[in-house]
Structure 1
Amino acid sequence: MLTDLFTPSVLQALDIAGIFVFAISGALLAVRKNFDVFGIAVLATATATGGGLIRDLIIGAVPPAAFTDLGYLVTPLLATVLVVFLHPQVERINRAVAVFDAAGLGLFCVVGTTKAYEYGLGLPFAAVLGVVTAAGGGVVRDVLANEVPSLLRWDREIYAVPAIVGASLAALLIHFEALNPVSSALSALAAFLLRLCAIRFGWRAPRAWHRRSAAAEEA
């Protein structure tokens, strides 16, 4: 189904673009954490490929794409080099990186859902793996950096919700046999725009109703 929607070269180009942007975000966090160059490379690679790797292992697409395509290895390393030598400049375009990260989120949640369905998963579970593909790398990044994953923090703009929306739309389109290049692009666009709105307007997920907690709130 993926090859029906996109040619292999286009699909690979989209994948590599998303991997590069996610690798930048991982490398920037590593710099803020004062990691050495090896640590920066590890965090960049884990962020870029973590979600897809988890998905491929679950659906049995082995060896995972991250271990069969040299581009999946080289791209995070290029991002590492860029951040190591130019991280002050990269930090200054952090807003632009956030925009590309949102684009990667939209792309990966749709592609992840479609690929999981191709490998025999039911649509609800395919959508779950679409979300894992989009957000899993960020969770791996935060765990390795000894931080509470941004996905779970109330004081961060919603991240999983846009991925859930995009993956759910893709699953519905598959169900109604309406998934095509235009509709899949619109699903990715919906997730992308929702994430941008969350960043712009500071949208956050609600916390427990009438929450009574003595725990200190993190800034």
Structure 2
Amino acid sequence: MEMITSQLWFDLLGTFVFGISGGMLAVRRELDLFGVMVLSLAAALAGGVLRDVALGDTPPAALRDARYLLAALAAGLCAFAFHRGIERLAKPVMVFDAAGLGLFAVSGCQKALSLGVAPLPAVLLGVLTAVGGGALRDLLVTEVPRVLREDIYALAALAGATVVAVGAWLGLAPAPVALLGVALTFALRVVSVWRGWRAPKAPGS
């Protein structure tokens, strides 16, 4: 029960912060209010929908629970109305994206484990949850999705989801483990951008 409760709140918080990242990217591309809301909804909800469909949990939670849609819409409106203040952050899209990445990697893995999925596929579903919304967001503005670029992205989500799976295997309390997973993913993503870390490329390519 504790894992299910923390998974719901991490899911909702991840929905909001990913929605902010989508809305801010739309504002930067000078889209109108409708465009901002579309990008916010895409970034906020796509990963969770993919996860739920893969788990056979249909209709997806985003279509059963109005809180998901409200969180995504609120994020889009915040980006539209307060983008000047948000832009004062260093790399705001990246920061919110990194936060959403960690929250969704953890909540995706938690949900899979709570439904009886084995640890390894649960970790992969955590990664899918984390990268799905960002990939759709980037495609809608004709960018190569971040998950396909050289910088650390999916690897950060993989690390956070692995922490959750290992914690569940060891029987540790879900909430602290989840916070550690989010923090690890966020730190890896932000530090990789700051330090210019890159994922390995094929030798000679």
**Aligned residue number for residue 117 of structure 2:** 121
When normalised by structure 1's length, the TM-score is: 0.83
Is 1:21 aligned with 2:17? Answer: yes
Secondary structure of the corresponding residue to residue 87 of structure 2: helix
Alpha-carbon shift at residue 137 of structure 1 (Å): 0.6
Cα separation, 2, equivalents of 1:109 and 1:120? 17
Is 1:201 aligned with 2:195? Answer: yes
User: Is the CA contact 1:170–1:179 (under 8 Å) kept in the aligned structure 2?
Assistant: no
Structure 1: tracts of 5 or more residues without a match? 212-219
**Aligned residue number for residue 43 of structure 1:** 39
Identity of aligned residues (%): 42
1:172 to 143, 163, 166: 166
1:184-208 deviations in Å (ceiling 9; x for gaps)? 3223322222222213212121222
1:110-146 deviations in Å (ceiling 9; x for gaps)? 2211211222322211110000111111011112222
Is 1:75 aligned with 2:38? Answer: no
Alpha-carbon shift at residue 179 of structure 1 (Å): 5.2
When normalised by structure 2's length, the TM-score is: 0.88
**Aligned residue number for residue 2 of structure 2:** 4
Which residues of 2 match residues 175-190 of structure 1 at below 5 A?
175-178=169-172, 180-190=174-184
**Aligned residue number for residue 128 of structure 2:** 132
User: Is the CA contact 1:158–1:204 (under 8 Å) kept in the aligned structure 2?
Assistant: yes
Alpha-carbon shift at residue 73 of structure 1 (Å): 1.1
Distance 1:16 1:127, change over 3 A: same
Q: Which runs of 4+ in 1 moved over 4 A?
A: none
Alpha-carbon shift at residue 11 of structure 1 (Å): 4.8
Q: Which moved more, 1:61-70 or 1:33-42?
A: 33-42
Alpha-carbon shift at residue 88 of structure 1 (Å): 2.9
Distance 1:162 1:78, change over 3 A: same
User: Is the CA contact 1:110–1:170 (under 8 Å) kept in the aligned structure 2?
Assistant: yes
Distance 1:62 1:82, change over 3 A: same
1:151-180 deviations in Å (ceiling 9; x for gaps)? 1122xx311111011112222233333353
Which residues of 2 match residues 76-155 of structure 1 at below 5 A?
76-95=72-91, 98-154=94-150
Is 1:30 aligned with 2:26? Answer: yes
**Aligned residue number for residue 215 of structure 1:** none
Is 1:54 aligned with 2:50? Answer: yes
Alpha-carbon shift at residue 100 of structure 1 (Å): 4.2
The AA in structure 1 aligned to 2:2 is D
1:27-50 deviations in Å (ceiling 9; x for gaps)? 122223333322221110110111
Cα separation, 2, equivalents of 1:97 and 1:144? 15
The AA in structure 1 aligned to 2:121 is F
The AA in structure 2 aligned to 1:77 is L
Q: Which moved more, 1:95-104 or 1:185-194?
A: 95-104
User: Is the CA contact 1:116–1:129 (under 8 Å) kept in the aligned structure 2?
Assistant: yes
Structure with max Cα Rg:
1
Cα separation, 2, equivalents of 1:34 and 1:100? 19
